[in-house]
Amino acid sequence: MLSYIIRRLLLMVVTLFGVSIAIFLLLRIVPGNIADILFDSAGLIDPAEKKKIVADLGLDLPLPMQYAQWIGGLLRGDLGFSYVSEKPVIDEILPRIPITARLAGFAMLFSITMGVPLGVISAVRQNSGTDYGLRILSLSGLSLPSFWLGLLILMAFVHYSGTIPIYDRNASGWNWWMLQLIPAAAVGFRSAALIMRLTRSSMLEVLRQDYVRTARSKGLSDGAVTYDHALRNAVLPVITVIGVEAAFLMGGLIVTETVFNIPGVARFLVEAIRWRDYPMVQNLVMFIAFVVVTVNLLVDLAYMLVDPRIRYGS
């Protein structure tokens, strides 16, 4: 088991190293840079001034040296300064992390608590009215983009209550919970639909196995057969999909934070990309990559705990 964990940690380090190179190079390939933006926005016409800006930002250094400076600072905890706000990157990012983390946590909680139970119900009641209704619901979730669903929710609130559920840092009590759960449900609806369909198909496959029929023949109750025997094995592929959905969830958070005016990391990333703010974009994307890789590591460890074959075969 220890060797399995060590291999996954090494794979995590190699993955993050490859991602860091991709992030660095792709930002330099995109046409235009921060020097052009600052030069044009200031109304400057002297090329010497532009060269000074490029030198001040370190963009005149060779790419390997720029990369080495970035990674070295990242390992020391020095993320550099934002080219736009001229503030330390860490001071810009840290206040936004709890906001996005809370929204992502609620979204994943919504996806799991809705997707798994409804998938089990749909499988147990196969070809019934309940099953058809849940399958239509899951198809709707896979078809509706999160940003469009968010706009529908906003319009519904305006029409029926005259209020708009957008972010308010001073909200408290019930209003605070509503402002957290509504955007979380909007962005997590698609993941819940996918988890529901996968749980249903996995449960149907497991319920046809010989050991399930043996458990029924022994006189076990339907609940014991469904949850103690079938669900324990059917949930294995679902755990894997949950890790994959965590990556897609970050993409959904970008539009959801924009629609609901949430000042989180995902929305701030879009603004940094627009300004070609290299230190900000590099560190934000690297942070998101670290979160995704860490979630997948935790999923692998959870898979190991649930499936003894991995635990003892490693």
From the number of C-beta atoms within 10 Å of its C-beta (0-12, 13-18, 19+), residue 62 rates as exposed
The mean per-residue pLDDT over the stretch 271-294 comes to 82
Higher pLDDT, 303 or 201: 201
**Rounded Cα distance, 137 and 141, in Å:** 6
Superfamily holding 96-266:
MetI-like (1.10.3720.10)
Q: What is the mean pLDDT of the chain?
A: 81
At a CB cut-off of 8 Å and minimum separation 6, what does 301 contact?
5, 8
pLDDT at 42: 55
| Residue type at 80 in one-letter notation | G
DSSP 224: I
Question: Does the pLDDT at position 300 exceed 70?
Answer: yes
Least confident interval from 62-71, 79-88, 118-127, 289-298? 79-88
pLDDT at 266: 83
Query: In sequence order, what are the beta bridge partners of 81?
Result: 88
Nearest residue to 104 (alpha-carbon basis) of 135, 146, 134, 139: 146
**Residue 110 CA, distance from chain mean position:** 13
pLDDT at 313: 52
The mean per-residue pLDDT over the stretch 163-184 comes to 78
pLDDT tens-digit map of 120-147: 899 888 889 999 999 999 988 888 887 7
Question: Does the pLDDT at position 311 exceed 70?
Answer: no
